Structure 1
Amino acid sequence: MTGGAGEMGAYACGVLAKADEIAKVVVADRDEEKATKLAADLGPKATPLALDISDSEALARALADVDIVLNCAGPFYRFGREVLSAAIAAGTDYLDICDDWEPTLEMLELDDAARAAGVTAVIGMGASPGTSNLLAVLAMDECDAVDRVYTSWRASAAHFPRPTADQEFPEATAAIEHWVHNCTEPIKIWRDGGLVDAHALEELTLAYPGWGEDAVWVCGHPEPLTLPRIRPEVRESLNVMSARRGLMNGISGIAKRVRAGELNVRQASDELLRQPNLSGKAAGRSPSLPSNIFAIAEGTKDGTRVRVGAQALVQPEGNMGEMTGIPLAVATLMAARGQVSKPGVHGPEGAIDPKIFFNDLAQFADEPPAPGVAVYEVVTDVLDS
C-alpha cells in the first residue's frame, strides 16, 4: 500500500493485516520510520517498505510481487495517474481513495490500457467518493430510468483543527487546504447530460424521503463524473455538501476572495480558520437532512415519478481515517475473494456489488449488527406528475 503509514492507509492496513484473505501487507511509505513502526504494530503479516513513488523504477519494483496495490499517497493530481499506470504495467489490480475530480478524469483515460492488461482498477473507494457511489447505485436501482442523482456528505467545522496553547488560531491542515481547493477552483459537473464547467458552492434545495428538504452546496468531487458511466440516461449528477449556513457563508466569502486573486488556496485556508460563527448554534441550525453520507436518485418507476434516498444504517464511525480507510479495506477484501474482478478503470459503482459491500462494512462498526438487521435503507417518495 502506497502511503500506507498515513492516516487513511494505516486504518486500511490494520484491517487487512487481520484478515484471513490476506497473506501479506506491504506498508510502503516515504517515511520509513512510520512505516516500520506501523508494520511492527500490525504483526507478522505486515512488512515495511521505504518508497518514494516519484521514483518510477522503485515504484515498478515495489509492484512486481503484489496482487493488489492500494494507493493512499496524495496528492492524487500528482500521483494518481502515475501509480495507476505503474500498476497496469505490472499487471497488478488497483484501488485508491482519490477524491479529486481532475485526476479522476485522467485515470479514466487509462480504461482501455487496463482492460488490455486484464487489470481491475477501482478509483475513489473511500467514504465520499466510495461509500457514496454505492449508495447511489442502491437508489438508482429502484428506478427504471434516472434523471438526476445526488451524493451528499456533511461539512462541519467540528472537524477543523483546534489552536494549541500558544496559538490564537490553528494552522490549516492538508485536509482543510484540500476542501478549500475543491470549493474555490473551477470544477466539472454533469449537467444536461454531459460534463460542463462550473464553480463550487452553488446553492440548491434537496429533499430526502422522510426527512424533508434543506439547502445544500455543490462541491467538486469525482462522483458526478463516474456515476453517469453506468446510467448514461442521467441528465444531472452532483456531489453536494449539507452544513450549517454559517460555515457555508464563511467558505463562500473566502471563495470570492480566491477567485478575485486576493488569496491563494493556502492563504484562504488559514483565513477560513479565522472566521467567526462557523460551528455550533452561532452557525445556525443543524441541517434537516441525514447526517451520514447519503444519495438521492430521481426518475421513474413503472411510469411514476419517484425520489429515492439511500444511506447506511450501520457503518464505522469516527475520524476521516476510519471512514475512508475501512471502506477501502472492505473493497480490497472483496477483491481478494474474487468479488471485484472487472478489467478496466471504474468508479466504485462500476465494479463493486453494493449489497455485499454494505453488509461487510457493517461488521466493522463499533457494534456490529445482529443477523437479519438492516444495514442500509432505501426509501422512496412518489412525486407529483
Structure 2
Amino acid sequence: MKLVVLGGAGSQALYGIRDLINHGSIFDEVIISSRNLEKNKKIVESLNSPIVKAAEVDVSDEEALYELIKDCDVVANCTGPYHVLAYKIIETTIKAGKHYIDFCDDIEAFHKIFESDLPKKAEEKNLSMIMGLGASPGFLSVLACSAEQRYFDSLNEAIFYFACDEKEPGGPAVLGHMLECVHNAPYIKNGEKLNEPSFREEWDFDFGEPYGVRKVTRIGHPEVFTFPKYSPGIQNISVRFSLEPVSAYEGFKDLSLAGLTSNYPLDINGNPVSPRDFALAVLLAQKASKPAMTEEELKEFLKGVTACAATELHGKKDGKSASYIGRVAGNMAPLTAIPLIIGAEMLAKGEITKKGIMVAEEAIENADKFVKETVKRIREDGFGFTINEELTVREVY
C-alpha cells in the first residue's frame, strides 16, 4: 500500500509520518512531497525509515500532481490554505481514482467543495474522501459523536472549545488562517445561521489544568458546517477559542476590534493595502524577531501541555436534561496529524464504508473506538495527553 502526503515536509504532517513509522502501518511506501525536494530528502534521511521517500511537486500543477498520485492508494493532503488549494487537489485526486483525506479547518473550503459537483463525482467513482480529520474538526468533533452515542437520545446544542500556546509549531499559513477565522465567525443559534466577527461576545470557560478559566470568543471554524451533517436537527452550534498566553488572545482581540482582519483594501499613499496583509506582516515580523526554538527546545516544550480543548453538549436522555463536557489537554500538532494518519490507514484497509466526499463526523462510524485509538497512539508516541469527561443528568420540570 502506498500513501502520498502532500505538504509532507510541513511541521504538523511530520508528526503523523513519525507516528506511522512507529506503529508498523499498513503502508509499505510513504511519499513525502512538497515543492522543495532537497528539504524533503533531508527529512527522509532524518526519519531513517526504508518506507519513506521524497518527491517534488507543486500541487497547483495538475498534471504533475496527477503523475505523482496515479500509482498510490491514498492521498493525504496537508497543504494550505485549503480554501485556495483543496478544490483542485480533490478534483485531481478524483480524476486519478484515489481515496483522500485531509485535516482541513477552513470553513470556506467546505462550502466551496460540498456545493460543487465533486461529491457526486467521488461517489460515482466509488471513492471515500474525508475532509477535516485533524484536531478540530476531527478528534474533537468525533469525541462529540462518541458522547452523543453514549449519553444522549437527542442533542440541542454543541459548543467546541480550544486554546493553544502561541509557540505551537506553525508558519505564515497558520497566522493568516487565524486572521481569517477571527474575521468571520459563523454560528447557529436557535436553528438560524448567523455570522459576526470574533470578540463581539466573550464567555468564561474552564479548560481544566493547566489553563484553567479563560476568556473565550467565537471563531470561524468548520464544525458549524460539519457537525450538522452528523446531527441535522441540532439547533445551536458554536466554536470558541482562547490563546496562551493571555496577552496573545488580547493581541488578536485588538487587531479584530481595530478592523485589521479585513481584506477590503485601503488606499495608503496611492497603494491599495489590505489591513489583513498589514496585520499578518506585523505578526510575522514579531515572530521573526524572536529566536526560533532549537529541536531540543521544541522537544522540551512539547513535554508539557501546549493546547487544551473541549466539547460541550446539551440535550435529552430518557426524558431528562443531559449535559456533557469532555476536556482534553496535550499538544496540538500530534492531535492534528495522528487522527489524519489513522484515517488514512482506515481508508487503505477498506474500513471507511461510505462513498463520496464526507466530513469526519460522517466517515467515522465507530466514534468511541477512534477516540481511544487516537489517545493510545498519541501517548505511545511519547506525548502527554489527558481526557476527562463529565456528565450531568437532571429531571425536567
TM-score scaled by length of structure 2: 0.79
User: Whose strand fraction is larger, Structure 1's or Structure 2's?
Assistant: 2
Cα distance change on mapping 1:159 and 1:72 into 2, 3 Å: closer
Aligned to 1:9: 13
Alignment pair present for 1:103 and 2:109: yes
Verify the 8 A CA contact 1:220 1:239 in the aligned structure 2.
Answer: yes
Aligned to 1:285: none
* Matching of residues 48-87 of structure 1 within 5 Å: 48-87=54-93
Q: 1:152 corresponds to which letter in structure 2? A: Y
Q: Which moved more, 1:34-43 or 1:193-202?
A: 193-202
- What is the percentage of aligned positions where both structures have the same residue? 25
Aligned length: 352
* Matching of residues 247-326 of structure 1 within 5 Å: 247-257=248-258, 258=260, 264-271=275-282, 292-312=308-328, 317-318=330-331, 320-326=332-338
Aligned counterparts of 2:77 and 2:307: Cα–Cα separation in 1: 28
Cα distance change on mapping 1:130 and 1:179 into 2, 3 Å: same
Alignment pair present for 1:46 and 2:45: no
Aligned to 2:35: 30
Q: Which moved more, 1:250-259 or 1:222-231?
A: 250-259
Aligned counterparts of 1:214 and 1:303: Cα–Cα separation in 2: 33
Residue 376 of structure 1: how far off its partner (Å): 4.6
Residue 349 of structure 1: how far off its partner (Å): 0.9
SS of 2:195's partner is strand
Aligned counterparts of 1:210 and 1:27: Cα–Cα separation in 2: 37
Gaps of 5+ in 1: 162-171, 276-289
Cα distance change on mapping 1:208 and 1:306 into 2, 3 Å: farther
Residue 267 of structure 1: how far off its partner (Å): 2.1
Alignment pair present for 1:149 and 2:158: yes
Aligned to 2:374: 361
Aligned counterparts of 1:75 and 1:57: Cα–Cα separation in 2: 20
Residue 368 of structure 1: how far off its partner (Å): 7.6
* Matching of residues 125-136 of structure 1 within 5 Å: 125-136=133-144
Verify the 8 A CA contact 1:139 1:295 in the aligned structure 2.
Answer: no
SS of 2:237's partner is strand
Residue 153 of structure 1: how far off its partner (Å): 0.5
Aligned counterparts of 1:298 and 1:70: Cα–Cα separation in 2: 34
Verify the 8 A CA contact 2:217 2:240 in the aligned structure 1.
Answer: yes
- Out of 113, 120, 124, which is 2:121 matched to? 113
Residue 191 of structure 1: how far off its partner (Å): 3.1
Aligned to 1:286: none
* Matching of residues 157-168 of structure 1 within 5 Å: 157=166, 159=168
Deviations 1:254-287 (A, max 9, x none): 1122267676223223556879xxxxxxxxxxxx
Aligned counterparts of 1:208 and 1:140: Cα–Cα separation in 2: 21
Deviations 1:127-165 (A, max 9, x none): 12211111221232222111111111014445499xxxx
Verify the 8 A CA contact 2:133 2:339 in the aligned structure 1.
Answer: yes
Verify the 8 A CA contact 1:152 1:241 in the aligned structure 2.
Answer: yes
* Matching of residues 368-379 of structure 1 within 5 Å: 376-379=387-390
Aligned to 1:165: none
* Matching of residues 204-223 of structure 1 within 5 Å: 204-205=202-203, 215-223=215-223
Residue 241 of structure 1: how far off its partner (Å): 0.7
Aligned counterparts of 2:177 and 2:135: Cα–Cα separation in 1: 15
Aligned counterparts of 1:205 and 1:268: Cα–Cα separation in 2: 25
Residue 236 of structure 1: how far off its partner (Å): 1.3
Aligned counterparts of 2:15 and 2:137: Cα–Cα separation in 1: 17
Cα distance change on mapping 1:214 and 1:173 into 2, 3 Å: closer
Deviations 1:267-318 (A, max 9, x none): 223556879xxxxxxxxxxxxxx962211111111111111112347xxx44
Gaps of 5+ in 2: 267-273, 288-305
Verify the 8 A CA contact 1:227 1:349 in the aligned structure 2.
Answer: yes
Q: 2:162 corresponds to which letter in structure 1? A: W
Cα distance change on mapping 1:368 and 1:28 into 2, 3 Å: closer
Aligned counterparts of 2:20 and 2:239: Cα–Cα separation in 1: 29
Aligned counterparts of 1:105 and 1:294: Cα–Cα separation in 2: 25
Alignment pair present for 1:178 and 2:158: no
RMSD between superposed Cα atoms in Å: 3.1
Cα distance change on mapping 1:259 and 1:355 into 2, 3 Å: closer
Q: 1:9 corresponds to which letter in structure 2? A: A
Aligned counterparts of 2:134 and 2:68: Cα–Cα separation in 1: 23
* Matching of residues 324-335 of structure 1 within 5 Å: 324-335=336-347
Deviations 1:29-77 (A, max 9, x none): 1111122222233321112111011111111112211111000111111
Aligned counterparts of 1:303 and 1:330: Cα–Cα separation in 2: 37
